[in-house]
């Protein structure tokens, strides 16, 4: 999937010269945590988010530190903090270095950006104009839709379920190729045999549970502890 497939369109934006109270009201009224900031040509110039509003003089949350540390930081840093805590202009508080993507950006790249930049949303632009937004909520909606589709089309027989499990095992580098038997009866899957790593137990259960048509999984696997040679069965 790509940004265009899941992005929120008709995104609410705000101008850099707008009053901060307007931005706050928009975020609260629309249930959003950030706004793209645009110029008169709708070109993206920044983002203002809830995080930009944490340290404000109105709420008594401005940064306080020992005077000696203020001296070390220097007047420039202190002046910038004063502006952020006291200005009512959106442009004074917004983050100017904004990460954006195009409509054809794959979702895996967007997720990587969200993780690496520690942000909650990414504007989608065409040229420099904002045409959409991909947020964590949009990714959740996409996940719900994908999981719903994955649950459809259950195999018609136990044999089909068995074949699907074998096929999926073969695709996974961690899955044991020998030593495990798979039995399917009326949608109930029984896993028997030995595994080389205790982590394989949970991974195999998850794999099987995700096969359409599987009603339940019975774990009868045994892990051979490598140091002692002790046989460890399922804990439940």
128-185 pLDDT, tens per residue? 899 999 999 999 999 998 888 766 666 679 999 999 999 999 999 999 878 899 999 9
- Which pair of structure tokens corresponds to residue 175? 């899955």
**CA-to-CA distance for 150 and 46, rounded, in angstroms?**
38
Does pTM top 0.85 for this prediction?
no
pLDDT at 236: 55
Span 108-115, average pLDDT: 96
User: Which residues fall within 8 angstroms of residue 156, CB to CB, at 6 or more apart?
Assistant: 213
| Domains of the chain with bracketed CATH | 3-145 (3.10.580.10), 158-232 (3.30.1340.30)
- Which pair of structure tokens corresponds to residue 146? 């994908």
57-67 pLDDT, tens per residue? 889 888 776 67
pLDDT exceeds cutoff 90 at 6: yes
């Amino acid at each position: 999937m790509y940004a265009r497939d899941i992005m929120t369109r008709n995104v609410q934006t705000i101008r850099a010269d707008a009053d901060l109270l307007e931005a706050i009201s928009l975020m609260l009224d629309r249930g959003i945590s950030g706004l793209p900031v645009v110029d008169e040509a709708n070109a993206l110039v920044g983002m203002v988010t809830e995080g930009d509003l944490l340290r404000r003089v109105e709420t008594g949350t401005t940064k306080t530190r020992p005077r000696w540390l203020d001296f070390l930081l220097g007047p420039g840093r202190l002046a910038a903090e004063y502006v952020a805590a006291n200005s009512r202009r959106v442009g004074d508080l917004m983050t100017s270095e904004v990460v954006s993507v195009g409509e054809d950006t794959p979702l895996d790249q967007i997720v990587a950006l969200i993780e690496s930049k520690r942000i909650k949303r990414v504007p989608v632009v065409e040229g420099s104009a904002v045409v959409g937004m991909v947020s964590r909520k949009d990714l959740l909606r996409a996940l719900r839709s994908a999981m719903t589709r994955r649950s459809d089309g259950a195999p018609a027989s136990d044999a089909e379920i068995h074949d699907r499990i074998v096929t999926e095992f073969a695709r996974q580098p961690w899955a044991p190729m020998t030593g495990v038997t798979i039995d399917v009866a009326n949608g109930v899957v029984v896993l028997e045999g030995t595994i080389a790593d205790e982590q394989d137990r949970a991974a195999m259960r998850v794999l099987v549970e995700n096969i359409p048509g599987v009603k339940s999984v019975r774990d009868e696997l045994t892990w051979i502890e490598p140091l002692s040679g002790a046989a460890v069965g399922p804990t439940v």
